[in-house]
A = this chain, B = another copy of it.
Amino acid sequence: MTVSTHAAAERIESDGQDPTPADQPAVTFDRHPGTYRHWRLEVDGEVARVVLDVDEDGGLVPGYQLTMNTYDLGVDIELYDLTQRLRFEHPGVRAVVLTSGKEKNFCAGANIRMLAQSPHPWKVNFCKFTNETRNGIEDVTENSGQTWIAALGGTAAGGGYELALACEQILLVDDGSSAVALPEVPLLGVLPGTGGLTRITDKRRVRKDRADVFATKSEGLRGKTAVAWRLVDETLPRTGFDEAVAERAREAAARSARPTDAIGIELTPLEREVTEDGIRYRHVRADVDRGKGIVTITVYGPNPSGVPESIDRIHQLGADFWPLAMTRELDDLILRLRSNELDLGIWVIKTRGDVESALAFERVVKEHSIKQHSSGDWLVNEIRHYFKRTLKRLDVTSRSLIALIEPGSCFAGALLELALVCDRQYMLEGTWEDAETSEEGEEAQLVLTASNFGAFPMSNGLSRLASRFYGDDEHLELLRGETDRRILATEAVELGLVTEAYDDIDWEDDVRMALEERSSLSPDALTGMEANHRFVGPETMETRIFGRLTAWQNWIFIRPNAAGPDGALRRYGTGRKAVFDRKRV
């Protein structure tokens, strides 16, 4: 939330259609603390301070000023980079204080001028990414012992307060004016888009009538009421605020099980080659067919000779350790395709490599993973959670995901999740007739391992297998007896692990037809259908954010009451009141 100047606001297009997007260059996600424009990362032993100090002129695209510590996608990309570096490069950090570099203003949320000028897909994609970053903050607090604490030395409004809600504790200065607020509904005619409505009721357990009052009160709440309503954990006087915050951080750090003597690894710059036809990384490549609207993503398994013999070797390899290197590349690719390639509606996912090597890597990871009540290696633990989060990104990606399981692929264990994440799985039965390499001459195979039964839970808390066979515990139990061996196509069909198997004669035509048919369907209907099918059974705060909240927000984002020329989002800051169609729907 920011109060735009009138002069600036007049530049908003008011032609009755979606605001014309600026001709936005491709979004990139390579950041480094040395290049941050909006954040400072200050590490001091067990405690890090993360300071939001937005550069007004540093908007990702032209057309708006990032006044009032408001953010756009660019600000959030830096935040994401920062959370990753804290996890991998600063393992000794056990508590993170999130604060602001501006006097009396924590953060006024997403920049409204930016929202008003952004086309619908940009807004939706922006909300998705910011939600993922906030979920990541909760993930590191819960699973990695790096506890985030929001120290609000000034007002946190809209997305600013939602950022605080992602932290485990919220401390608010008690200065008679600083408040927390969700002014989206009353001022902008949209919802708080990064989990605010869900987190106040489900996480902070604000009574639902109070949640209603709070979310319609543009000025928000402060002081005792904010504490009594559970909107913040504590208010603290301005004098001694920093000391009190530091004390809370020390307390949180003391509770962490994170090792104190760990030495970080460097997240070195990703190597990639971008061409018209795709993107190539070391372990991942994307091949684009724009005519058909398809991108084929191939993940390459590890080198057979590269299985590290010890945990020391894994640390020595650092960002070159295949599971981490591959995950970073895949993560980057997902983010780039989502932001820059809206017309590629089908993502075909393949793997390529040696099954035994993939399993060997998995065994090393498993051996050093943190299990309940025992401490494993912090780095291995971080890598597992990172791969988990990357798979979750695929779960909520609004593209059709189709796995092709062919000879020479290595969908085994953790890599099998890349098939299970897909809407459909097609598998070749038998071998290629014209196989040129011995690898291709082998039959396509899958391997289930223990890690498919819970190492990489979806947002609904279930493994992808448990989601796939929701309610059929007997079959899940049967599958547990089928781990650690090669499963060929006919059996994969019988076990329900793939949608269809075709032999060499039919493969090309049947797969092509399936993809063409998919391409012909309404992209919106597919988005809605996939969002409904991918998460069955139980729901969590996360699934509610990506399901219910996001869907309502998307609806509101294209309603004239918000996005029309007289809508609240476009009129905000112009001095003119929004004009609403008062019909309730």
Q: Contact partner of A207 among B125, B208, B496, B549, CB < 8 A?
A: B496
Cβ A345 vs Cβ B582 within 8 A = yes
- Contacts A201-B532, A525-B562, A539-B539 aside, 18 further interface pairs with beta carbons under 8 A come to A121-B583, A125-B585, A190-B525, A201-B470, A205-B470, A207-B496, A211-B533, A216-B521, A343-B584, A522-B556, A522-B567, A524-B556, A524-B561, A525-B556, A538-B539, A544-B547, A551-B554, A558-B558
In the complex, whether A256 has a CB less than 8 A from a CB of chain B is no
Cβ A424 vs Cβ B469 within 8 A = no
Q: How far, in Å, is A114 (CB) from chain B's closest CB?
A: 17
Cβ B468 vs Cβ A208 within 8 A = yes
In the complex, whether A467 has a CB less than 8 A from a CB of chain B is yes
Q: Kindly report which residue of chain B lies nearest to residue A210, judged by CB atoms.
A: B499
> With A and B bound together, what is the CA distance between A293 and B582 in angstroms?
9
In the complex, whether A517 has a CB less than 8 A from a CB of chain B is yes
Interface string of A215-248 (1 = CB under 8 A from B): 1100000000000000000000000000000000
Q: Kindly report which residue of chain B lies nearest to residue A399, judged by CB atoms.
A: B584
In the complex, whether A483 has a CB less than 8 A from a CB of chain B is no
Cβ B554 vs Cβ A585 within 8 A = yes
Residues of A461-496 contacting chain B, CB below 8 A = 467-472, 496
Cβ B522 vs Cβ A562 within 8 A = yes
- Assuming the contacts A215-B529, A528-B191, A582-B343, asked whether A472 and B205 have C-beta atoms less than 8 A apart, the reply is yes
Binds B, one of A79-87, A181-189, A300-308: A181-189
In the complex, whether A32 has a CB less than 8 A from a CB of chain B is no
User: Which of A197, A499, A558, A559 has the most chain B CB atoms inside 10 A of its CB?
Assistant: A559
> With A and B bound together, what is the CA distance between A201 and B188 in angstroms?
37
Q: Contact partner of A189 among B398, B469, B525, CB < 8 A?
A: B525
Residues of A491-546 contacting chain B, CB below 8 A = 496, 498-499, 517-518, 521-534, 536-539, 544
Cβ B539 vs Cβ A189 within 8 A = no
Cβ B424 vs Cβ A499 within 8 A = no
> With A and B bound together, what is the CA distance between A582 and B470 in angstroms?
32
Q: Kindly report which residue of chain B lies nearest to residue A523, judged by CB atoms.
A: B584
Cβ A537 vs Cβ B212 within 8 A = no
Q: How far, in Å, is A73 (CB) from chain B's closest CB?
A: 15
> With A and B bound together, what is the CA distance between A184 and B422 in angstroms?
21
- Assuming the contacts A184-B525, A554-B555, A585-B523, asked whether A537 and B209 have C-beta atoms less than 8 A apart, the reply is no
In the complex, whether A425 has a CB less than 8 A from a CB of chain B is yes
In the complex, whether A120 has a CB less than 8 A from a CB of chain B is yes
> With A and B bound together, what is the CA distance between A422 and B207 in angstroms?
13
In the complex, whether A553 has a CB less than 8 A from a CB of chain B is yes
Cβ A197 vs Cβ B524 within 8 A = no
Q: Which residues of the other chain, B, contact A120 by a CB distance below 8 angstroms?
A: 585
In the complex, whether A202 has a CB less than 8 A from a CB of chain B is yes
User: Can you list 26 residue pairs at the A/B interface with Cβ under 8 Å?
Assistant: A185-B521, A185-B529, A190-B522, A191-B528, A191-B529, A198-B532, A201-B470, A201-B532, A205-B471, A207-B468, A209-B425, A211-B533, A212-B529, A216-B518, A342-B583, A343-B583, A345-B584, A522-B556, A523-B581, A524-B559, A524-B562, A524-B585, A527-B552, A527-B585, A528-B552, A555-B558
Cβ A552 vs Cβ B549 within 8 A = no
- Assuming the contacts A189-B524, A345-B584, A518-B216, asked whether A531 and B556 have C-beta atoms less than 8 A apart, the reply is no
Q: How far, in Å, is A316 (CB) from chain B's closest CB?
A: 41
9 nearest CB pairs, A to B: A189-B522, A551-B551, A528-B552, A539-B539, A547-B548, A342-B583, A555-B555, A197-B532, A205-B471
Q: Which residues of the other chain, B, contact A470 by a CB distance below 8 angstroms?
A: 201-202, 205, 208
Cβ A191 vs Cβ B584 within 8 A = no
In the complex, whether A7 has a CB less than 8 A from a CB of chain B is no
Cβ B524 vs Cβ A208 within 8 A = no
Interface string of A557-576 (1 = CB under 8 A from B): 01101100001100000000
Cβ B523 vs Cβ A583 within 8 A = yes
Q: Which residues of the other chain, B, contact A425 by a CB distance below 8 angstroms?
A: 209
> With A and B bound together, what is the CA distance between A499 and B208 in angstroms?
10
Q: Which residues of the other chain, B, contact A469 by a CB distance below 8 angstroms?
A: 207
> With A and B bound together, what is the CA distance between A551 and B553 in angstroms?
9
Cβ B584 vs Cβ A424 within 8 A = no
Cβ B197 vs Cβ A561 within 8 A = no
Q: Which residues of the other chain, B, contact A556 by a CB distance below 8 angstroms?
A: 522, 524-525, 528
> With A and B bound together, what is the CA distance between A552 and B525 in angstroms?
9
Cβ B424 vs Cβ A209 within 8 A = yes
Cβ A212 vs Cβ B527 within 8 A = no
> With A and B bound together, what is the CA distance between A409 and B377 in angstroms?
64
Q: How far, in Å, is A551 (CB) from chain B's closest CB?
A: 3
In the complex, whether A124 has a CB less than 8 A from a CB of chain B is yes
Q: Kindly report which residue of chain B lies nearest to residue A423, judged by CB atoms.
A: B212
Q: Contact partner of A584 among B398, B517, B534, B536, CB < 8 A?
A: B398
Q: How far, in Å, is A333 (CB) from chain B's closest CB?
A: 16
> With A and B bound together, what is the CA distance between A188 and B211 in angstroms?
38
User: Which of A184, A210, A583 has the most chain B CB atoms inside 10 A of its CB?
Assistant: A583
Q: Kindly report which residue of chain B lies nearest to residue A192, judged by CB atoms.
A: B529
